[in-house]
Structures are given as structure tokens and as C-alpha cells.
Structure 1
Amino acid sequence: MSAAYVCIICGESEPNTIDLYVRKSKKLGRDDHRREQSTDAQTEQGHRWSHRKGYAVRKVWKDIASAFKAVKRSDFDRALAALANEEVPTLWAYAIDRFSRKGAEDLLKVIGKARVIFDMDGLDSNEPRDRRWIINRAEEAREYSEGLSKRVRDTKEEQRDAGRWVAGRAPYGYTVSRDRVLSPDEEPFICHVATRKEWSRAALVREMFRMIAEDGESTRGVCRWLNGMRVPSPGGKSWGFAYVYRMTRNPAYYGTQVIQIRPGHPEPYRNTKGELVPLRGTALITRDQQRRAQNNLAGNNVIPVPNRARDTRAKHLLTGLLQCPGCKRSMSMGGRSYLCQAATGGTGCHVKASARTTAIESYVFEAWLARLTGADDDDSIMIAVSERWTARTKPEETAAEQAARSVLDAAEADLAGLIRTRKQYTGAAERYYFQQLTEATEAVDAAKEQAAKHGSAGRVQLPFLSVSVEDLTRAWEDADPYLKRDLLRLAIDRITVHKAPRRGCKFDGDSRLTIAWAKTTGRADYGTAA
């Protein structure tokens, strides 16, 4: 190579260049007995060797990753590419097992093509007598690594089968004993300023699940509650909603052994017989609580909104139904007209639709009346209206059906998610996939059966079939504003209000309004009102 390189340690210019490759498996503390030779120590030793042999260090490549597992080692790949592209003639490595534990697989990429020095082994790939030793030592390192991995796997599997906690850190809310048994962390560590109530980490976890499962609280709401009490997160900082969400997916909280096949996704562990293994110790919540929490976070909650002391219901007939076609915002009452919110809020909209209250309300009622009284019994609008009428007149039956349907939706989502991640279950982990697939399929079948029971238990009665136009009009006139709003929404989802062609022209509902009529979910069995 024509250019001279300067050593990054002594600053001297030397013609012979070399790269260093250093690696260790994990980030471990200085007092950890599993700590390997640090990358800094390996780098220093590589510099000393280079100076003795008359080389200048061009680049230090460093990885903190396994040399055996199929993980991406970016600097290792770049170091080999630099040799292959003749950017540098020589590569120094601390030892063969620091270079690779895949046997001769990685070594054959460079042996005979470039020079590689294995310092601790005293081997040089340019020496013909060393090449056999290098390959043999690499195969020995591979065999040792495979044997060590198997012993570790067997030991961990034995501990999991015994219900002991294998991971280093206990889940938040638990403590782990020397014999790896989880126990709730009941030691009070924070006191709420307003209520003077003392909280332990275990009590906080129970309350977090209660808030989500019973109150329908979001993960962000839980974080606001925790941060408002100045509760430090497991990392010592403020709480994040993603961490709370992962807690709701951890089987350890309801007392089931876990395994992580996908990083960051704890799953229920199963022994060789396919059985779930209970953890030794006391669970913080029940399985049913976790299911309800997961279901609510998935958007399938049917938790009723608590009664409010002040009546905050909208009073105007079409508030919430009307939409401006320009900005897609809702239109609210302003003076004697319904106006695009951009017009009242000062934000941009190129349309800014509006309509006089009396004219548009009269037209919408007439369209609603004509659509319902002119429909046949099997018309889709009548089926959609029936579903919503049942939800209004028989809320307890509708809530039970919605709950059964939400359980089915959650089970189907779990099954679909498992199928999407099929490729991540390889090798020994395949048995977990098929066991979970069977369980997820059974859960979907059971949920379908339960939903079918609710669907067939209460046949929905179609309203208005025996009511004339005159009777329905009289009933409309006698209804209060809230009932009128509900009746309109039985059949109408949305109304788009287009801008008038010119200022002051007469309201023409046929050209100005686009009504989106209600659609059926197709989930109920319908009868005819007596």
C-alpha cells in the first residue's frame, strides 16, 4: 500500500498497517465473575503486539456479541470485508474463540487469502504449519461452545420445569430469593401526598392491572398516575406506556413460567409434555384479570362510561353527524347555522361549509323518515337500525353480546399474530409454536361458540314495521331532543355538507348533502316485531 498510516497510540508513521478485531459476549460489571477479557484490554494487547512487529494500527473493529449464535456482528463483517478488498493486509485477533466459534466456517473465508494473527494461540495463518492448528482449534472452540450451550439450555430447562425464575432480574413488583423463587415485593417505598396511602411495588402492579381491566384506563393514563406520584420506573426514570403494555403481556404476573423466544416478548413456558408450568411463589393477579386488561387495551372493552353529575350531552339535533368536505372536521352550532369548525376555530379550510339550522334539520328528518318507512323488512338499513335499537332498549343483552364478541376478536387477533411470527420459532422452539397454535385455535373455537349462544339467545325485533308515517311523525314531535338525536343515529352514520354554490341561495338538500346510512355488522339473528 502506498500511503503511510499513523499509529493512534504513539503517533509514529509506519509503512505496515494492521487492523485489530476485539470482541466479548456480554456487557458485564467489573465485579461479575462471568466477565471476560474486556475489549479495552484486548485492544491494548493488540497495540503492543503491533509495535513489537513493526505495524501501525489502522482500525480497531469491536463487537459485543456472541461468536456462535446467528446474530449480526457488524464490525466482524466489516473487518473481513476490509481484508477481502485489500484495504489492509493483516488482521489481529486476541484468540480463535474471540474471532469465531462457528468452527472453520468463518476462518476459511480469510485463510489463504489474507493474514490473520491469533495472538493468545500463537498462530499465524501465513505459516503453513499453523493452518492445520488454526482449523483444529477453531473446531475445538465450536465443539466447546455447542457443548456449553447445551449444558446451559438443559440447566435452564430443568430450572424452568421446577418453577424457578431463570432470568437475572425479577419482574417489577416481585423480589427473587437466592433459590430463584419469586415473591411479591410488599415493602412500602412511597407515600401518596394527598391520601397518605403507602404503596409497595406489588400493590402498584395490582392497582395498574385493576385500572386497566376494570376502569378501562389506558397505558398512558397509568403512566400519568405513576409519574404524578413520582414513582420511579424500573430504570429509575419516568414511566413509559410501552413498558406498561409489556407488563400486561407478561405471564409471570399471574404465576406462570415464562420463556423469551422473541426478544422482549415473554411467552408462557411449556415443558416437554406441553404443559404450562406454574412459578414457585405467589401470583400478583389472576389470569382473568390479565385477559381483561389485554382485551381493553386492544380496543375491545365494553366498560360503561360512569354517570356524570353534570349533563354534558349534546343538545342540538345534528351535532356530531355533520362533516365539512374540505377539512373533514365536524360542524357545530354557531348562531343560527351549523358551521365548519375551521370557520369558528381560526384554522385553515378551503371550503368552510355551513347550513341554516331549520333548513338542514327539516331536510334530514324527511330523508330519515322516507328511508325507514320506504324500506322492505329485509333491507340492510332495517337490520342495521335493529342492531342499534336493541343496543338502546336492551343494553344488558347487548353488553353481553359485545363482551362475547370482544373475546372472539381478541382470540382471533392472538391467533393471527402467532401465525405472522411463525418464522421466529425455529429449532427447539418449534414445539412452542405448535403448542401455542393449538391453544390459540381452541380459544377461537370456544369464543365462537360463546358468541353464537348470545346471538341466538336474543332475536332482535325490528322496530317501526307496523308504524305508519303519520304515527312515526307524531312520535317524533313528542320526543325530547335527546331521543330525536338517538333516533336519527339509528339509521345515519355521517352527513357531508357541501358548500352552497353562491351566497344567499335557497337550501337544496339533494345537492348539498351526502348521507352515509348505517350498515349492519351481520352478527345477529333478526325477527319481526309483533
Structure 2
Amino acid sequence: MNPLPVSHTPKAVIYCRISSDKTGAGLGVERQEKDCRELARRLKMQVVEVLSENDTSAYSGAPRPKYERLLEMMRSGSIDAVLALHTDRLHRSLVELEEYVNASEQGSVTTHTVMAGPIDLSTPSGRLVARQLGAVARYEVEHAIERVKAAKLQMAQSGKYLGGQRPFGFEPGRTAIREEEAAVIREIVQRVIDGDSFRAIAMDLNRRGITTTHQREWNALKVRNVALRPINTGIVRHNGIDYEANSPAIIPRDQWEDFLIAVQLNRTRSNHPGTFRKHVLNGFVFCGECGKKMVHKTKVSRGKKSTIVSCESGNRQTGGNGGCGRVARSVDPIIELVRQSIIYRLNSPELVSALHAQKTSAETLKELHAKQRAAEGRAQEVLDDYYVHNLLTREQFERAKVQADAALKAINERIESEYSHAVTSAIDLNGNLEEAWENGTLEWRRDLIALLIDKIIVHRVPRETGYKRPMFCGKWRFDPDLIDIQWRA
């Protein structure tokens, strides 16, 4: 019997995929292609294209461009068959299977697999088999995920290494402390407790030539992430629950608690307008005409430079609409007015007493953080009992979750309140306040302003005939009546 002409030889596309390629060598898809080419030879099919996707999961729902191209070729009728190692290389979702069945019917395309044989999607029985294989494949994936979760939980409960890249400060596999890196972590933690910012620490580490695990330079986020890892203090955190690590700690637990409080205090202070800015009033001053926040600008008059606050008619950051553009004022007399007003108010024994009463202690914050971790652990245990261990009914789960979430919310609100009070702890309200202001840092002054003042409103200079701005402190033509200080306390 004479062979069919080449033009009548069925055209096939080979589709290969592996979910995880840790080495990046692509050996898995190469083996699949080899087996599929052998299948094509037995079926006397011509392979017109090979579509390979490395390190791509069919279960996760991540985009698979080569698979989409395969469906397009099937719908167009440009191929006669699809060759794959197994149906689970094509799809592990029943939704994807239905889309594949439709494409097969539309283009009259057959499917052949090395391991499961031919899949005839043109008949009800063939589609039933395909759906059964898809359901089995999905079960296998879900069962594998549950096994991995259970193994991870068991490892965490034993304090073992959960995998991933080598943690900075530890040897590979967390088998021991790497002392030269651990010393850097200890330094970071103590400097944050002493008041340094992550950004300042990053710049110092780079200047000294100290690099990250990957021999890269530091930035504030990298410093923060390395310093805040619970493993530094001997804690393995898994799904929000803390377990005792089986490796030694770099940071003692008491110092770790002080560090977490220092981090939160820095974050609380950064919520105040423009903390760590160039100007002491930056973010506090608002236009009395339109209510927009005013910006600091440099003004040159008769060869002399001075700083003013101005309502900008255009947004310099976005190019969009800004304020009315009709109010501007020299900033130095506003600062002096604010200074005098603060000192006058702080001379009130009642106000100082009220502010002192707001202060909170580090011990209170430590206790609250311990309760927060316990509440977070309880919330996660409820999830595990329902989703992982199947110990709760749906009704029991929903009731327990509502209770756990409410308890965690109450603790978080208490912590937020305590931290807002804790800002006052960094401000000494006793002694000579004028001297304290004179010698205080920019951050100290801004913390004090944020503690007492909500907004500083600058009103427009009157235009009526005869109005003349008075002298203020013998130095400025400035009307303090046009400044409205809105107090917090």
C-alpha cells in the first residue's frame, strides 16, 4: 500500500508543561517532547509546532500564553491533533476542560496522550472520560496542597526551617548563626530603639560596605524587612501563629519587644503631617480661602531670600488643580506665633496634667502586643480547624470567626489608642519650655506641634482702605489675627 501524500498527513501540535522548574533547565518539558514525538511517529502524524511552558501551573489560573495559542490553532482548524504526555498537562480545571472541548469540536481536533491514550471528545463517552480525568487531576493537586500544608504546619510546630532563601544572619538551612551578619541585625535593632530611622541605617550600612544576602546595597525597606523577622528572636511564624524555633535567637525577647514598640512609635509619628521634613510647619498650614494645604516656597526680594507658605493654584505633583492661589505669608513670623502660643498653653497646669495622663508605658504596650499575637493565633486556629482539619461545621466556623475577629479588632483599636498617647512620652513637658524649644530638634518640635495643633489657618490680608499690617515682635510686618490655630488639646 502506497503511503499517504505529505499533504494528507495529519498535522499535530505537541503541548508540554511542567508546574515547577527549580533549576530552570527545562529538562521536564524536553522529556515530554521526546515522548510525544515518539507518539507522533507511531500515529504517523506530522509535528508542525511544539508549544512548551516551563514553571507554569494549570491549577493556579496563571496566564498560559502558549496554551491560549494552542486553543486558537484548534479553533481555526489549522491542526488535526494535539499531542501531550497526559491530559493533566493540558488542563487541571473543569472550566478549562469545557473550553478545550469546545475548541476541539469547533476545529474537529483529536487529542492523543502518551500515558492515557486517545481522548475522543466528539462523543459523550469520550467527554465523560476527559471530565473524569480532569476531576482526578484536580483532586490530586488539592490533595498535594493539603499534604504540603500539613507538612509545613508540622515543621513549624517543631520549630524547623520552612525553606526559602538563606535568612540574613543564619547559615544555610538555619543550622547556625552567621555571627558577622547577626552583629548587623543586633546593631539595626538597637539603633531603631535609640531612635534611628531605617533609611539612615541603610545609608550607613552602604557607606561601610556592608551588603545584603545577595551582595546588594541596602534601602530602608530591606533593613526593615530583615530586622522585623520573628526568627531573629527565635520565633517561627506560620499562618499568623508563633512557634518556638529550634535554632538560637539573635535578639533577646525583651529587646525584641522594645524594638517592635520603637518601630510602631516611629510609624505613629510618621502619620503626623510631614514628619522628618525640611520645614517645621510643613503639612500643618492651610489656606483660609479655599482650605487647601499650603506649600513652602523660597522668595527672593531685593536680593534677599526668605521662606513663605503659599496656596498654589496648580498641583506641582500631578499637574491638576490645586488651591485658589490667593494667600501667601512669610513663614518665620508664623513659627514664632506658634512657638509663643504653645508655650503659653503649656504653662497651664491643667493642660500639662491632661497630657501626662495620656502617656502610656512600654510595659502596657508589651502586654497589648502579647494579647494581639494571641488573638491573631486564635483567628488562624479557627481557619485551620475549618479548612485544614475539618473539625468545625460551617455554622460553628462562622460563629467562631466572628468572635475571633471581634476580639482581634478590639485589641488593635486599644493598641492604636495607646500608641497615639505614647507619642507624648518622647516630649518632656517639664522644665524650661522656651529653652527646650530653642534646643529641640526639628522632629521634637514637630512632635510637639502635632500633639497640640490640628491645623494652622492663614487668612487673606484685608483689602479695605486704611488697613495696615502691624509690627510683630519688632521684626515683621505681620498680623497675628489673620492666623487661626486650631488646637487638639
Q: Flag whether TM exceeds 0.5 (same fold).
A: yes
1:118-517 aligned at under 5 Å gives the runs 118-121=112-115, 123-126=117-120, 134-135=130-131, 137-176=133-172, 182-186=175-179, 200-212=180-192, 214-259=193-238, 267-268=240-241, 276-285=242-251, 286=253, 287-300=256-269, 328-330=294-296, 340=308, 353-354=328-329, 389-390=351-352, 397=356, 400-401=359-360, 427-428=387-388, 437=405, 440-441=408-409, 443-444=411-412, 447=415, 493-498=455-460, 501=463, 506-507=468-469, 513-517=482-486
In the superposition, relative to structure 1, how do residues 14 and 439 fare at CA in structure 2: closer, same or farther (>3 Å)?
Answer: farther
**Partner residue of 1:78?**
68
Distance 1:23 1:428 in 2: 29
SS of residue matched to 1:183: coil
* Unaligned segments of structure 1, at least 5 residues: 1-11, 187-199, 262-266, 269-275, 303-311, 373-381, 455-460, 462-478, 521-530
- Equivalent pair of 1:498/1:513 in contact (CA under 8 Å): yes
Query: Residues 255-294 of structure 1: CA distance to partner in whole angstroms, max 9, x if unpaired?
Result: 12222x5xxxxx33xxxxxxx4211121122241442243
Describe the SS at the equivalent of 1:173.
Answer: coil
Q: Could you say what secondary structure the match of 1:239 adopts?
A: coil
* 1:331-385 deviations in Å (ceiling 9; x for gaps): 8999999762679xxxx99657346999x999x79x979xx9xxxxxxxxx8x99
Task: Verify the 8 A CA contact 1:339 1:355 in the aligned structure 2.
Answer: yes
Q: Does 1:62 align with 2:53?
A: yes
Give the match's secondary structure for 2:295: coil
1:96-154 deviation digits (Å, cap 9, x = unpaired): 2323345x664344347503534422623337686666555545544544444444333
Superposition deviation, residue 227 in structure 1: 1.7
State the alpha-carbon separation in 1 of the partners of residues 410 and 158 from structure 2. Answer: 27
| Length-normalised TM-score, structure 1 | 0.56
- Greater share of helix: 2
Q: Where does the alignment leave 5 or more consecutive residues of structure 2 unmatched? A: 1-5, 272-277, 317-322, 392-396, 423-428, 471-477
In 1, the alpha carbon distance for the partners of 2:270 and 2:226 equals 18
User: Which string of whole-angstrom CA distances, capped at 9 and with x for unpartnered residues, describes residues 461-494 of structure 1?
Assistant: 9xxxxxxxxxxxxxxxxx89969x99x9767952
Residues 111 and 497 of structure 1: CA distance in aligned 2, closer, same or farther (over 3 Å): closer
SS at match of 2:53: strand
One-letter amino acid matched to 1:72: A
Structure 1 residues 230 and 71 mapped into 2: Cα distance closer, same or farther (>3 Å)? farther
Question: Equivalents in 1 of 2:215, 2:420: separation in Å?
Answer: 48
- Identify if the C-alpha distance between structure 1 residues 93 and 64 changes in structure 2 by more than 3 Å, giving closer, same or farther: same
Q: Could you tell me how far apart the structure 2 residues matched to 1:87 and 1:65 are? A: 26
How far did residue 496 of structure 1 move? 1.2
Q: Would you say the 8 A contact 2:299–2:307 is kept in 1?
A: yes
- The amino acid of 1:390's aligned partner reads V
What is the root-mean-square deviation in Å for CA atoms of aligned residues?
6.1
How many residue pairs end up in the alignment?
415
Amino acid at match of 1:280: N
Cα distance in structure 2, aligned partners of 1:339 and 1:92: 74
1:204 offset after TM fit, Å?
0.9
Paired residue secondary structure (2:65): helix
Quickly say closer, same or farther: Cα 1:123–1:492, change in 2 above 3 A.
closer
Q: CA deviation at 1:162?
A: 1.7
Asked if structure 2 preserves the Cα contact closer than 8 Å seen for 1:322 and 1:494, the reply is: yes
**C-alpha spacing 1:108/1:357, structure 2 compared with 1 (3 Å):** closer
CA contact (8 A) 2:307 2:332 kept: no
Distance change (3 Å), C-alpha of 1:407 and 1:441: farther
Q: Partner amino acid for 1:279? A: A
